């Protein structure tokens, strides 16, 4: 039996998404292709197109799954951080580092420019939920306006994505190659950006 036939109906779709995460973590977004995913799975180059008509559709499904899972990771980290709003938002930076280091699917994938015009309700729902969670965490720190809360999210994500990129590029190899250490540094850096009102 071929590898392609070994997938039951519906299982290949899930396998394509899972394998996409693996390749994104290994090779990055620029080298990501449907053909590479098919090769890694050992299926024909035509097989993925039964589920995803093009690269953008496959990447859109990955984006939706990444937004869902990252949101859950951020919510869990915030809960574990305790009641202080600044600590809870800073914990999002650490959660981001841990998630993206393992999956390769950060904001550059979740909000990939090539997906802006993609009509995908599942992706839209998951990306909205992710931003709502971040907005709630930022708003709890007491910013002066909605715009200030958005800027705080941008700064937190910029710190987290920067640390993730440095980790992926081996910047910390001589000092620490432990993702938890890097996540802790990202949390500490993000914490310095957060100034709740009344403090």
pLDDT above 90 for 153 = yes
Q: Cα 83 to the chain's mean position, in Å? A: 24
Query: In this structure, what are the phi and psi dihedrals at residue 105, rounded to the nearest 5 degrees?
Result: -110, 80
Q: How many C-beta neighbours within 10 Å does residue 173 have?
A: 9
177: pLDDT confidence band, cut at 50, 70 and 90? confident
pLDDT score at 2: 46
Confidence at residue 7, expressed as pLDDT on a 0 to 100 scale: 58
Please give the distance of CA 165 from its chain centroid, rounded to a whole number. 13
Band (8; pLDDT cuts 50, 70, 90):
low
In this prediction, residue 198 carries a pLDDT of 39
Assigned CATH for 1-53 = 1.10.10
Rounded mean pLDDT of 56-84?
Answer: 95
Highest mean pLDDT pick, 85-99, 116-130, 176-190: 85-99
pLDDT attached to residue 125? 94
Res 199 pLDDT > 90: no
Looking at residue 175, its pLDDT comes to 60
Structure tokens at 24: 């994104």
Query: Is 192 a residue whose pLDDT tops 70?
Result: yes
Mean pLDDT of 71-79: 97
Taking only the tens place, the pLDDT of each residue in 104-141 is: 888 988 998 888 888 888 999 999 999 999 999 999 99
Q: What percent of the chain has pLDDT over 70?
A: 90
Q: How confident is the model at residue 67 (pLDDT cuts 50, 70, 90)?
A: very high
Counts of helices then strands in the chain (DSSP H, E): 8, 0
For the chain, give every domain's residue range. Answer: 1-53, 55-193
Residues 6+ apart with CB under 8 A from 79: 88
Mean pLDDT, residues 18-22: 92
Phi (first) and psi of residue 141, to 5 degrees: -80, -5
The one-character DSSP state at 8 is P
Residue 14 CB contacts under 8 Å (≥ 6 apart), including other chains: none
Inform me whether the pLDDT recorded for 174 exceeds 90.
Answer: no
55-193 is classed in which CATH architecture? Orthogonal Bundle (1.10)
Full-model pTM:
0.86
Task: Give yes or no for a contact between 45 and 35, defined as CB atoms under 8 angstroms apart.
Answer: yes
């Amino acid at each position: 039996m071929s590898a392609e036939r070994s997938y039951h109906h519906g299982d290949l779709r899930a396998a394509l998404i899972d394998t996409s995460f693996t390749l994104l973590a290994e090779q990055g977004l620029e080298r990501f292709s449907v053909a590479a995913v098919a090769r890694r799975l050992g299926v024909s180059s035509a097989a993925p197109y039964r589920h995803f008509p093009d690269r953008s559709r496959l990447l859109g499904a990955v984006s939706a799954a990444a937004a869902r899972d990252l949101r859950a990771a951020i919510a869990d980290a915030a809960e574990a951080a305790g009641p202080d709003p600044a600590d809870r938002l800073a914990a999002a930076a650490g959660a981001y580092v841990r998630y993206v280091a393992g999956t390769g699917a950060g904001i550059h994938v979740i909000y990939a420019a090539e997906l802006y015009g993609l009509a995908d309700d599942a992706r839209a729902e998951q990306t909205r939920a992710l931003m709502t969670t971040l907005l709630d965490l930022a708003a709890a720190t007491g910013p002066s306006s909605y715009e200030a809360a958005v800027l705080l999210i941008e700064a937190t994500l910029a710190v987290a994505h920067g640390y993730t990129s440095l980790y992926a590029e081996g910047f910390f190899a001589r000092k620490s190659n432990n993702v938890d250490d890097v996540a802790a540094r990202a949390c500490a850096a993000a914490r310095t950006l957060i100034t709740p009102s009344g403090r």
